[in-house]
Amino acid sequence: MEKTLVIEHNGEKAVVWEPPQIFSKSDYDLNVLEKALEKTEGPLKEWRKRKFQEYKEWGFPKWKRCTLDGLKLPELSFEYVNENVRLSLLENLDFEGSHRKFVLLADTFFTSFKVFGDGTHTIRSEKDGIENYLITVEKNAKIFKISKTNRFKDSVMRILVKRGATLKFVNVDLFGDFSFDNILIFLEEGSTLIFRDFKAFGNRKIGHVLVKMEKRSTADMKSFFYQNGKGITDVLYLMRFIGEEAEGKLKGNGIVDDSGKVVFRGILDVKRGAKNAVAEEVEHTLLLSPNAKMDAIPSLWVDENEVTASHSASSSSLDENELFYLMSRGLEELEAKKLIVRGIFCEILDEIDEPMRGEVEDVINRIV
């Protein structure tokens, strides 16, 4: 299983804090599993049974920065599933995610399971539920996923980009009460990833993206985020370099308003043997309110000497000089603020097509 933090090095094991777990009486149990199994055929039926054995051993995490107070699992309605999935592939792409509980939740109690390959795929999700995706890219694929959660959403995506293949993936996560988004992308030798992530509004939004990179693979990742009210967005992007001459760049850009909070964790993990790897991370957040909070936690782990690696993070309030300049050109203050906000998100707007572009643009227009 791919771990978020590898705590062993040269035979030494680090001691890290692990969040306490909460075992709830209202958690899904054997009765819910039996309802899921009634709608499942093929290899996934055995998969669900096996994952349930591990699921029941885990409680929900009691996180410090992003508390899950008020979390209540919804009643589930299962879709009929009969996918001829190779379970060995699912095992090879297993990972820890934002917390093991939420990955196992999606593996055991998914309400829908989708399999995609090459081509262009638009995925829309507007209901409470638990989603599981398996994607194998042989040559070229484009994925546009937009999720507008009503109350609760747990999603797990496992993506294998095969040797020399290319994937463009735009992931949009809007609104909702509790949203958990866990993604693993494995880039084989010489493959290419273009990834854009946009998260906005909502009570609790948790994102976890892990990209594992083999020789000469490249990843261009950009994260855009907005949070307001008393909402909290907690995202982690991990790029793990395991092959020579791999190149990965991560850029984060977002806005926090009111008493909202964003936690941005960017981890560049260069393993021994990943010679001549290029690993770069930069993140900036605009704070529109004195009560807005930003925790930027960049991390750089390098086991190899011959690499180029850098990271930086910053936050700032609205630039009064920039605002004054725009107003001196005849814009009202609100118009000037909107122009600045749009400038932060224009890159993602330029990379998506209608009608998805229009929906994202409507959300951005609500920000100021």
Question: pLDDT by residue (tens digit) across 171-188?
Answer: 999 999 999 999 999 999
Question: Which spans in the chain are helix H?
Answer: 30-38, 43-55, 87-92, 100-109, 320-328, 333-350, 356-365
Is pLDDT above 90 for 356?
no
* 136 closest CA partner among 166, 102, 162, 100: 162
What letter does residue 79 receive in the DSSP assignment?
P
pTM over 0.75: yes
- pLDDT value, residue 325: 82
* 2 closest CA partner among 96, 66, 83: 96
pLDDT in tens, 229-280: 999 999 999 999 999 999 999 999 999 999 999 999 999 999 999 999 999 9
Using 50, 70 and 90 to split pLDDT, how confident is the model at 27?
very high
What distances in angstroms separate CA 231 from CA 40, 156, 261, 338, one per listed residue? 36, 22, 6, 21
- pLDDT value, residue 60: 97
User: How far, in whole angstroms, is CA 58 from its chain's centroid?
Assistant: 21
Rounded average pLDDT over 21-31: 95
Using 50, 70 and 90 to split pLDDT, how confident is the model at 11?
confident
Is pLDDT above 80 for 74?
yes
Structure tokens at 309: 């690696």
Would you say 275 and 245 are in contact if contact means Cβ atoms under 8 Å apart?
yes
What distances in angstroms separate CA 68 from CA 28, 190, 258, one per listed residue? 17, 40, 20
- pLDDT value, residue 342: 87
Q: Look-up: residue for tokens 């993604």?
A: 183
pLDDT in tens, 80-127: 999 999 999 999 999 999 999 999 999 999 999 999 999 999 999 988
* 2 closest CA partner among 183, 245, 227: 183
- pLDDT value, residue 217: 98
Using 50, 70 and 90 to split pLDDT, how confident is the model at 335?
confident
* 157 closest CA partner among 137, 180, 134: 134
Give the DSSP per-residue string, 31-56. Answer: HHHHHHHHTB-THHHHHHHHHHHHHT
pLDDT in tens, 324-333: 888 888 888 8
Tell me how far apart the alpha carbons of residues 220 and 51 are, in angstroms, rounded to a whole number: 33
Is pLDDT above 80 for 323?
no
Using 50, 70 and 90 to split pLDDT, how confident is the model at 141?
very high
